[in-house]
């Protein structure tokens, strides 16, 4: 196949290239289906287009074609506002086309794009289902990548036990905190505090051996990010904890729901500032958010989350809420030393 293989860029925002864009996203979806069956995590093209429109990252999409068929897809994420040493790679090859050099050709092109932008840390992800194995391990190690973090994928079935969730919220120990929620559009008066929380997400959450640094967030960036998610058709349910004596938001948790999978919620970030831990806020936040999610979006029958294996506290919270592990992922990293 390698002699017939052609790597070409795709402009995911060009209406004339929409058929290729949909074939490109279908390759990523096919890999998820191969790994997890009907429980794969699939993006829609509209969601990816929303990310491409963002000003805080450059995203370069490449496709591998063979005989007029799109058989491999790669996106290179290049942060522009922070972590300007890093590039994130999203690589998928149709299961029927593996072992024929497609992934190697795409990865070489991705590394070339990263080098052109002066990036010295390359990161990518592999996944596998509970009871399975990481079929991409050999490929990643042969290309010089090492494991920087191991992550557990879990699901919570909805509707959950309302009484148990309410009991978790009312348990003593958090009298100085109030819980507030919104659906879809973040309140303007949240933005400054939430930007601080989002920035702290990049420093307070476990990163293990990943070569990433603090992100730069402010109200404008957060507002724009929320607007892109909504424009892509995503629904958002978020809960924050307000420290009553200071009046500041000190913790949050977010679930988003794709228009392409209205029955599945994606647990996004959850963070409690270090200085406000020890009051069970993580459990309470997720319980409040689950109750609001069930009220507002009753079609959602499960929430999926990913947590670093080292994040023992949040994994324990999830178990208490009824999450069960159904898969794993690894964050792989390749650091390019000077002169290499």
Chain segment 60-94, per-residue pLDDT in tens = 999 999 999 999 999 999 999 999 999 999 999 99
Of the chain, the percentage scoring pLDDT greater than 70 comes to: 98
Interval 190-202 mean pLDDT: 97
pLDDT at 34 over 70: yes
From-to residues of CATH 3.40.630.30 in the chain = 2-119, 155-328
Q: How high does pLDDT run on average in the chain?
A: 95
Question: How high is the pLDDT of residue 1?
Answer: 47
Question: How high is the pLDDT of residue 56?
Answer: 87
Strand order of the β-sheet with 5-10 is: 5-10, 57-66, 69-79, 86-93, 121-129, 324-335, 146-157, 302-308, 264-272, 248-257, 235-243, 177-183
C-alpha angle 197-199-201 in degrees, rounded to nearest 5: 70
pLDDT at 338 over 80: no
User: Closest Cα partner for 212 from 112, 83, 66?
Assistant: 83
pLDDT at 144 over 70: yes
- Model confidence pTM above 0.75: yes
H-helix segments, 37-101:
45-52
Q: Quick one: CA torsion of 75, 81, 82, 83, rounded to 10 degrees? A: 30
Q: Among 3.40.50.11540, 3.40.50.150, 3.40.630.30, 3.50.4.10, name the CATH number for the domain at 155-328.
A: 3.40.630.30
Q: How many CB atoms lie within 10 A of CB 272?
A: 25
DSSP string, 187-244: -GGGHHHHHHHHHHHHHHS--TT---------HHHHHHHHHHHHHTT-EEEEEEEEET
d(CA 301, CA 304): 10
- Residue 3 — pLDDT band, cuts 50, 70, 90? low
Largest CA distance in the chain: 68
* The CATH number of domain 2-119 is 3.40.630.30: yes
The per-residue pLDDT for range 262-316, each reduced to its tens digit, is 999 999 999 999 999 999 999 999 999 999 999 999 999 999 999 999 999 999 9
* Strand stretches in the chain, DSSP E: 5-10, 57-66, 69-79, 86-93, 121-129, 146-157, 177-183, 235-243, 248-257, 264-272, 302-308, 324-335
């Amino acid at each position: 196949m390698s002699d017939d293989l052609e790597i070409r860029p795709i402009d995911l925002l060009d209406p004339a290239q929409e058929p290729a864009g949909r074939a490109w996203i279908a390759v990523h979806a096919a890999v998820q289906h191969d790994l997890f069956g009907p429980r794969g995590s699939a993006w829609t093209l509209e969601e990816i287009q929303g990310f491409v429109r963002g000003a805080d990252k450059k995203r370069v999409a490449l496709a591998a074609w063979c005989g007029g068929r799109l058989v491999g897809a790669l996106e290179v994420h290049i942060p522009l506002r922070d972590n300007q040493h890093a590039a994130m790679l999203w690589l998928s090859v149709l299961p029927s086309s593996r072992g024929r050099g497609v992934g190697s050709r795409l990865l070489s092109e991705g590394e070339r794009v990263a080098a052109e932008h002066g990036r010295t840390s390359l990161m990518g992800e592999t996944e596998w289902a509970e009871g399975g194995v990481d079929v991409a391990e050999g490929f990643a190690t042969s290309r010089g990548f090492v494991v920087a973090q191991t992550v557990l994928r879990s699901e919570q079935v909805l509707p959950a036990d309302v009484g148990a969730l309410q009991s978790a919220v009312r348990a003593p120990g958090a009298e100085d905190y109030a819980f507030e929620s919104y659906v879809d559009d973040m309140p303007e008066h949240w933005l400054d505090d939430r930007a601080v929380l989002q920035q702290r997400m990049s420093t307070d959450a476990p990163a293990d051996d990943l070569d990433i640094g603090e992100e730069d967030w402010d109200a404008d960036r957060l507002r724009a990010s929320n607007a892109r998610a909504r424009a892509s058709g995503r629904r958002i349910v978020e809960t924050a904890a307000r420290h009553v004596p200071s009046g500041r938001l000190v913790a949050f948790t977010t679930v988003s729901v794709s228009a392409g999978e209205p029955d599945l919620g994606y647990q996004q970030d959850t963070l409690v500032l270090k200085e406000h831990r020890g009051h069970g806020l993580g459990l309470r936040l997720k319980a409040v958010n689950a109750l609001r999610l069930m009220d507002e979006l009753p079609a959602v029958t499960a929430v999926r989350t990913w947590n670093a294996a080292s994040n023992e506290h949040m994994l324990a919270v999830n178990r208490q809420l009824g999450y069960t592990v159904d898969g794993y992922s690894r964050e792989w990293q390749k650091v390019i030393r000077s002169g290499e």
